[in-house]
Structure 1
């Protein structure tokens, strides 16, 4: 069975900021700021092979043809609510990108993802989708989001998370082997409640101060 490509972004700045985010006593404002910063750094790696086109510009000295990306062909897909923390940093790097939203919550008993909202830009078949969710734990939310996203037939799909558990990688990779996974770290595994260990707790609660 084919498996997804898994890219661990090991840049020292990414790893440094991730360590700070893991700390139990990190304040909500500090956690939010670090998530914004780390998402900007990860955006550079995720978009490394984005297609470019040549346009004609004029420098102070002469005309030339130079490459630009078409940000409007990129769609950041925010898995609500925690994906919002990734979104701002990514948009700082690719401000012309469109944004789609998938509203999911995890049933606390079954750990199954339940959808409550779905909205994508038009003409997804012409666009490259980058799905954002800080935690790839069981993988059920990521699988459910990508299941729905594929109904819109985007040109390509990538999944980006801050932390991943082996169980989540296996679930997403086996279900959608064509979707590469980008993460800052692969942690040990899941506890009995489906949380990543050692992890950093619930990313949404820590980001919005609801823990």
Structure 2
């Protein structure tokens, strides 16, 4: 799993534990997801390319580092991926946002696409695909299949929790895409949910069943 990056920052792990607790309220879960997504965004953007730009400070002109290329694009896998956007957009408020709508067939567990919308000029943008759960990996792999058709400069995948099965599936289909997560859990159960996990992230975030 050389493409897997587990973020072991103490604040990330503390907030994740609070989110796992089944007694956490919908509002509390949503707030924690926003907080932890900001911390994860700090790690996933650590190696973004820089270039130099001439500016003037109050005292002197200088060559100062700025992000290189067009604005980064955050690609949310609907609907739960939207829960990660708020925290990341606090860190990168100028980022563009794309959406990929997928649902999981309850019989086959395969992902089915129903929506796809990306910013223009993707070929000079770094893309960060966001979805709280990397379970079977089918949705993530399909989303990245579609995203690669727009030819972004680079792609990373960011999630809150990952299962070994999902990591293996995504690595098999997209070995060039690094995965960032707060935890690698034990396994998937017979329904395709991560164990011990935290339940369905979308339902807990939006208060639905």
The bucket for the TM-score relative to the shorter chain is over 0.9
1:103-161 per-position Cα deviation (integer Å, ceiling 9, x unaligned): 00111111110110000111111111100000000001001101111111111110000
Of 159, 177, 197, which aligns to 1:199? 197
Change in 2 beyond 3 A, CA 1:36/1:70 = farther
C-alpha separation in 1, matches of 2:96 and 2:58: 32
The answer for the alignment partner of 2:29 in structure 1 is: 31
1:1-211 alignment runs, 5 A limit: 5-70=3-68, 72-211=70-209
How far apart are residue 4 of structure 1 and its match? 5.6
C-alpha separation in 2, matches of 1:51 and 1:191: 39
How far apart are residue 205 of structure 1 and its match? 0.2
C-alpha separation in 1, matches of 2:188 and 2:133: 11
C-alpha separation in 2, matches of 1:159 and 1:56: 33
- Whether the 8 Å CA contact 2:69–2:125 is kept in 1: the answer is no
C-alpha separation in 2, matches of 1:194 and 1:184: 19
1:10-49 per-position Cα deviation (integer Å, ceiling 9, x unaligned): 0000000000000001000000000000000011100001
C-alpha separation in 1, matches of 2:82 and 2:69: 19
- Whether the 8 Å CA contact 2:70–2:124 is kept in 1: the answer is no
- Whether the 8 Å CA contact 1:71–1:95 is kept in 2: the answer is no
How far apart are residue 73 of structure 1 and its match? 2.8
C-alpha separation in 2, matches of 1:26 and 1:107: 28
- Whether the 8 Å CA contact 2:185–2:196 is kept in 1: the answer is yes
C-alpha separation in 1, matches of 2:121 and 2:109: 32
C-alpha separation in 1, matches of 2:69 and 2:26: 31
C-alpha separation in 1, matches of 2:34 and 2:140: 21
Query: Cα RMSD between the aligned structures?
Result: 1.2
TM-score by length of 1: 0.96
After TM superposition, the runs of 4+ consecutive aligned structure 1 residues lying more than 3 A away are none
Q: Alignment length, in residue pairs?
A: 209
Unaligned runs of 5+ in 2: none
How far apart are residue 72 of structure 1 and its match? 4.1
